[in-house]
Amino acid sequence: MGYYDDHAYPRKQKRNWLTPLLLGMIIGILLVAMVKPAVFRTVDESSTDEDAIGINRNPSVTNVKLDVTTQMTDTVEQVAPAVVGVTNLQLQRDLWNPQAEASEAGTGSGVIYKKDDTYGYIVTNHHVIEGADEIEIILHDDTSIRAELLGSDLFSDLAVLRVDKKYISHIIEIGSSESVKVGEPVIAVGNPLGHMFAGSVTQGIISGKQRTIPQDFNRDGRPDWQAEVIQTDAAINPGNSGGALINIAGQLIGINSMKINEAAVEGIGFSIPIDTAQPIMDELETTGTVTRPYLGVEIYSLDEVPRSEWYDTLKLPKELDGGVYIWSIERFSPADRAGLNRLDVITALDGKEVNDIIQLRKILYQEKSVGDEVLVTYYRDGKKQETKLILGKQE
C-alpha cells in the first residue's frame, strides 16, 4: 500500500552549461580586441623613450671623432722644431788605437733662438758641451749636423753654438721671465734620457721665482756660486738640460738646467730665467766669453776654517760674523797694486757686507764692471783697514 504527501515540491531539472561558455568566450574576444592596440602602443612608446635616453637594445659600432686641437697643442707644434738634440763627442785615445775616434760622452738639448744671413744660433747648457771635441746637433727631422761652439760660461751654465742657416727652419720667440707668475702654466720641451725620447713635452706650472741654488763647481763639498733660477714642476730629467721652458704663448722664458736628484723628491726642476740668460747669450755670441771683473786673488770663506783660527791666527775681533781671507795674490793684479796681502780678511766692498765667497762674487759679477773703482774693507792683524782698487778683467 502506498501513500503520498500533500505538500508539492518542484521538479529538479538538468542544467545547460554550453550557453554560458559561449557567452564568456565572446566577451573575452571582445576585451582582447579592445585592449591589444593600447598594449602595443604602450610598448612602442616605451621603446621610443628608452632610445631617447640612450638605451640601445641593438647596439652597433660607430666611429667617434674628437677635435683635440687646443692652444697648448698648437703651441707645442709651433715650438717643437726649434728644440734640438745636442751630443757631446770626445776623442778617445789610447796606446792600442793611435787614431783617435770621437765617441758620445753625453747628450742634452738646445734651443734655436736666432738666425741671420749666415748662421743659426743655438743656446744650451755649459755642462752639456763641457770637454767636447766635437758637437753634433740632431734637428727636429732627425737630421744630424755639426755645430761650432762660440763660447760657454761656467757660472751661468750657458753655451752658444752656431750652424749653417740652411738647416734652420724655425726659431723660438723670446719672452720675459720677469713677468711670469707663480701658478702660471708652462711647458718643457727637450730630449730626456737621450735622443731616443727626442722632442718630449711635459706640462707644469711655475712653482717659484728667484730661487737660489748652490753650485759646487770643483766638487769639494763647498758651494762656489748660487744660481738664480725658476722652479717648475714640469718634469725635467737628464737630457732635458739646455731645452726650452715656454709659456702658453710659445715664448721662451727659461733654459732648463737641472733638477734635485734625490729619490724622495719629485716635481722640482729648475730653469735659467731668460732675462738673466739673454745678455750672457749675446756676449757669448759676439765675444765667445763673458767678461767679469776680478781682484786677482785666491780667496776662501772664513767658515772653511775653525773659529779658533779666526782669533789665534787671523786675530779677528769676536763680533765679526764672516768674511773671506786671501790665500794668494797674483803679481801686478788689482789686489797686488792696492797693497793687499796674504791672510788679509775682506769684509766689505763699497760698504756692502761680504760674509762669504758667494757674496763677494755676487757683488763683483752682478753690480760691478771692469775698470770700476772699489773700496775694499779688510782686517790685517786684527786692525780694520780700507783701500781702493781698480777692477781688472778676468781672462
**Catalytic-labelled residue, pool 153, 157, 233, 356:** 157
pLDDT tens digits, the chain, 395 residues: what are they?
Answer: 333 333 333 444 444 555 655 666 666 666 555 555 544 444 444 444 444 444 444 555 555 454 545 888 888 889 999 999 999 999 876 666 666 677 888 889 999 999 999 999 999 999 999 999 999 999 998 899 999 999 999 989 999 999 999 999 999 999 999 889 999 999 999 887 667 667 788 889 999 988 888 787 777 777 778 888 999 988 887 778 899 999 999 999 999 987 555 555 566 889 999 999 999 999 999 999 999 998 999 999 998 889 889 998 999 998 898 999 999 999 999 999 999 999 999 999 999 999 999 899 889 988 999 999 999 999 999 999 999 999 998 76
Residue range 173-287 forms a domain whose CATH class is: mainly beta
**Catalytic-labelled residue, pool 177, 200, 241, 271:** 241
- Record the cell numbers describing residue 267, joined without a space: 716635481
Q: Over the range 303-330, which residues count as b (16 or more CB within 10 Å of their CB) and which as e?
A: beeeeeebeeebebeeebebbbbbeebe
Confidence at residue 346, expressed as pLDDT on a 0 to 100 scale: 96
The verdict on whether 356 is a catalytic residue reads: no
Confidence at residue 2, expressed as pLDDT on a 0 to 100 scale: 35
Confidence at residue 45, expressed as pLDDT on a 0 to 100 scale: 46
> What's this model's pTM, rounded to 2 decimal places?
0.74
The verdict on whether 7 is a catalytic residue reads: no
Domain 293-393: homologous superfamily in CATH? PDZ domain (2.30.42.10)
**Catalytic-labelled residue, pool 109, 126, 127, 200:** 127
Confidence at residue 66, expressed as pLDDT on a 0 to 100 scale: 46
Return the CATH number of 74-94+102-167, one of 3.40.50.150, 2.40.70.10, 2.40.10.10, 3.30.380.10: 2.40.10.10
| The domains spanning 74-94+102-167 and 173-287 adopt the same CATH topology | yes
The verdict on whether 157 is a catalytic residue reads: yes
* Pairing of the two strands 269-273 and 251-259: antiparallel
Alpha-carbon gap, residue 107 to 198, rounded angstroms: 11
Domain spans in the chain, listed from the N-terminal domain onward:
74-94+102-167, 173-287, 293-393
Confidence at residue 102, expressed as pLDDT on a 0 to 100 scale: 76
Q: Locate cell 686641437: which residue?
A: 69
Confidence at residue 151, expressed as pLDDT on a 0 to 100 scale: 96
- Residue 47's contacts (CB-CB under 8 Å, 6 or more residues apart) are 57
- Record the cell numbers describing residue 339, joined without a space: 797693497
